[in-house]
Amino acid sequence: MYIVTGIYIQAEVLWIDWWMSVVRKERPEMTTRGLPKGLGHNPSADKFVPEELQRMIEAYGNHPSFTMLCIGNELGNSNFDIMQQWIKSLQEKDPRRLYAISTARKIMPADQYMVTHNIPQTGGTYGINGSGTDNDRESIYSKATIPVIAHEVGQYPVYPLWNEIDKYTGALEARNLESLRQQAVKNHIEHQDRKFHEASGALQTILYKGLIENLLRTPSCAGFQMLSMTDYSGQGEALVGWLDSFWDSKGIITPEQFRCYSNDIVPLARFHKYTWQTDETFKAQIQVANYSDTTLITPTIWTLTDETGKLQQQGSREVPLSSGKVNQVDSLSVDLSEITSPGKYYLDVTISGTPYHNRWSIWVYPPYNMPQTNIIIHDKFDSTVISALEQGKKVLLVADQLGKKDNSTPLYFTPLFWSTSFFPGQSNTTLGAWIDKAHPAFSQFPTDNYTDWQWKEITQGRSFIINEHPQLHPIVQPVSDFHINDKLASIFECKVSKGKLLVCGYNLNLDSPVARQLKYSLLHYMTQSNFNPSYSIKIDTLKKMFAYTPKAMVSVPKGFENSILYISCGKQMKNSGSAPWTATLDHTEIQDERCKYKVTCDNIWKDEKGTAWTGKNMTIEIQTPEGIIGDLYVKFEDWNHQNRAGLLSIEGRESILENQKGKERWVKLFIMREDTNDGKIVLKTHTKQGGNLMISQIAFIKQ
């Protein structure tokens, strides 16, 4: 067995994706460099690239670090058959390294490794599934037949410090940042840049840590690639690094902290959740990912401490930490019953006599009965609340279902992706939240000044745009994307008429220890004399802010509740037989207003088994919000046992629909942000066997 570890650097010499060849009148900035044709369709590039590849082999072929070669990044509009011939020629000439055709678009027979964010028909190569650390992506990577490296993991932006503008002392002026700062000035948040920077930076850190550890726990994963450790000043200011554009530290993480979870040897812990109750036993599995060239034989030590450093429990075990694998080391079990107050605790794992150490936070809550008070708790700003406030009462408004698009934004735990100016269709326009952790509202809810993992459980709801209230200081303030710079509030207090109002945009009614603990802490605060908000807001203003729109009831299969489009194909058709396709014959169980669609097929078919779109060749075009990522699910039918099989093409990426043998089959197709950057996706089907293909249901779930 050979173990190769190191830093993989992808020098992006060539990048021509399909969307670069699309004219978009509403996005003129996307065509400032012309409309380049992909390889195999571009005579000058088709001459240069294979010749340059040969020159690279001749110049660097004997270099010991030259272990992998890929033609280019995301070559989405290129001819993969032609490029495959170039790679085969290189493999025959110099087989000493691994070769690949492109990253992240298509896996070809000649590929000896792949850097991608999705394995076709299998799933994504990175992401955190579950609410703790007891997760990995082995079920996906284990199905790969070649080494697979996760492509461009994360890409979480951090709010900028406006004094970075002063660094631009040369020919390049930071006019973009200056313009963004002016929007912050307009909305009275310019002075909060450091708070937002620290909060969004801390969130970025825990997310990168979570993603990297998830991959380290995956034995079949060949590695991971991050786009950059520095900010990318193009494509709409993608400030996704932990270093700024000048390669200076942003002050959000140190090299020593980063090496705790990104190193050749990394201690790991598996536990299934971050939040615990005192009537539970905290259990975890200790592992060590050792991808160094050395097997270690030394004790691995774990400790559980509170925030003051007081030891709760500890353990140690010595097992060989074999090179080239994820080693099972120990299991721990800690009785939490002696904890009497809510707190944050640290699990530390250290390999004795080495610099290798890692840390995780957990939160422990005792059981509480909600305080018996006269506080009105309500989820709508209606006559009940208004009357109570006019009578001088206290009201806790659970506002997670309130607000409209023009005065509120949805809450998300993770930040938006890359940049909203480059991917403008994202419904998420926030970078975490800044929390006034010293506020008495959190006396019974331990928190830092950013949304750590305990907030993930309850981050469903709304934040409210309060640009017109410069003197209102939120208790929790979601960080608006710096391209927007709205002043937001998800927890805030105000005086209303004779009463006192505390607003919480998080869902406090979840069956969750976190929701119960936050609700308890807010109510506890409201019973104290220091709950005395001074900032007044008029009732009419709040009526507009907290408008309520009832949600329509939908009936879709389990797992599809979060679809933005769900179609039962031809379900409205009344008579058996065939009919030309029209959208009125479909039943859209769920349809986002932006998700219009059209279908080109032979007909809609109905019999006693069901209804479906049918055709030898079909094209389904779905309009989408721009720049979103997700999965398109398509249900193919073969209820009359024609052994249907076909070829599917989603935005030019082909996959095979194997012989259905009379069975229904759901096909999952990954939708990249680049696919939706033009505001639509196109699925084409071609029948290989069985006369035609049949589609009975289709769903699009946005990640």
pLDDT (tens digit per residue) in 413-454:
999 988 888 888 788 999 999 999 999 999 999 999 999 999
Q: Is residue 367 part of a domain?
A: no
Residue where a domain stops, chosen among 355, 390, 425:
355
Alpha carbon distance 411, 316 (integer Å): 41
Would 13 be classed as within a structural domain?
no
One domain, residues 404 and 291: no
Is residue 7 packed enough to be buried (19+ CB in 10 Å), middle (13-18) or exposed (0-12)?
A: exposed
Distance (Å, whole) CA 67 – CA 90: 13
User: Residue 611: is its pLDDT beyond 90?
Assistant: yes
pLDDT of res. 110: 98
Tens-digit pLDDT profile for residues 181-238: 999 999 999 999 999 999 999 999 999 999 999 999 999 999 999 988 999 887 778 9
Structure tokens belonging to residue 578: 């065939």
**574 vs 234: which has the higher pLDDT:** 574
Higher per-residue pLDDT: 37 or 478: 478
Residues 257-284 have a mean pLDDT of 97
The closest of 160, 188, 189, 191 to 176, measured between CA atoms, is: 160
Whether residues 608 and 517 share a domain: the answer is no
Q: What is the pLDDT of residues 492-547, one digit of tens each?
A: 999 999 999 999 999 999 999 999 999 999 999 999 999 999 999 999 999 999 99
- Whether 242 and 269 map to the same domain: the answer is no
The range of the structural domain enclosing residue 535 comes to 376-546
What is the model's pLDDT at position 2? 44
Q: How confident is the model at residue 617 (pLDDT cuts 50, 70, 90)?
A: very high
Does residue 508 share a domain with residue 478? yes
pLDDT digits (tens, 9 = 90+) for 31-40: 666 778 889 9
C-beta of residue 475 within 8 angstroms of C-beta of residue 491? yes
Does pLDDT of 7 surpass 90?
no
Strands 603-607 and 610-615: antiparallel
DSSP designation for 121: T
For residue 2, tell me if it sits in a domain: no
Distance (Å, whole) CA 530 – CA 524: 11
CATH number of the domain bearing residue 276: 2.60.40.10
Distance from C-alpha of 392 to C-alpha of 500, rounded to nearest angstrom: 7
Q: Could you tell me which residues come within 8 angstroms of residue 172 by beta carbon, excluding any fewer than 6 positions away?
A: none
Q: How far apart are the first and last CA of the chain?
A: 38
- Per the model's pLDDT, the better-predicted residue between 522 and 18 turns out to be 522
| pLDDT of amino acid 120 | 83
Tell whether the model's pLDDT for residue 131 goes beyond 90: no
Q: 172 and 28, same structural domain? A: yes
* Residue pLDDT, tens place only, 626-658: 878 889 999 999 999 999 999 999 887 888 899
Q: How far apart are CA 598 and CA 523, in angstroms?
A: 51
The last residue of a domain, from among 512, 546, 580:
546
Residue 554 resides in a domain: no
Residue 370 lies in a domain: no
Res 596 pLDDT > 80: yes
| Angstrom distance (rounded) from CA 10 to CA 223 | 13
Q: Decide if pLDDT at 239 tops 70.
A: yes
Q: Give the tens place of pLDDT for each residue, 362-394.
A: 999 998 888 889 999 999 999 999 999 999 999
Whether residues 341 and 445 fall in one domain: no
Q: Which helix (H) or strand (E) holds 680?
A: strand 680-689
Q: What is the spatial distance between Cα 190 and Cα 114, in angstroms, rounded to a whole number?
A: 44
Alpha helices in 620-694 (DSSP H): 673-676
Pair 103, 157 in one domain = yes
pLDDT tens for 58-89 read 999 999 989 999 999 999 889 999 999 999 99
Q: Same structural domain for residues 342 and 393?
A: no
Residues 325 and 426 in one domain: no
Q: Is residue 418 in a domain?
A: yes
Q: What is the domain-level CATH number for residue 672?
A: 2.60.120
How many beta carbons lie within 10 A of that of residue 636, not counting itself? 22
Specify the number of domains making up the chain: 4
Residue whose structure tokens are 């949304």: 451
The one-character DSSP state at 168 is -
Do 221 and 272 belong to one domain? no
155 and 269: one domain? no
For residue 555, what pLDDT is reported? Answer: 72
Report the share of the chain in percent with pLDDT over 90: 80
Question: Rounded distance, CA 261 to CA 264, Å?
Answer: 9
Residue 256 placed within a domain = no
- Whether 673 is covered by a domain: the verdict is yes
pLDDT of 5: 56
Whether residue 9 is predicted with pLDDT greater than 90 in this model: the reply is: no
Residues 269 and 239 in one domain: no
For the segment 662-694, what is each residue's pLDDT rounded down to a tens digit? 999 999 998 988 888 888 999 999 999 999 999
Domain closes at, from 355, 388, 403:
355
What rounded mean pLDDT belongs to the chain?
Answer: 93
Q: What is the pLDDT of residue 215?
A: 97
Judged by phi (left if over 0) then psi (alpha if -120 to 50, else beta), residue 242 lies in: alpha
Q: How does pLDDT run across 275-329, given as a tens digit for each residue?
A: 999 999 999 999 999 999 999 999 999 999 999 999 999 999 999 999 999 999 9
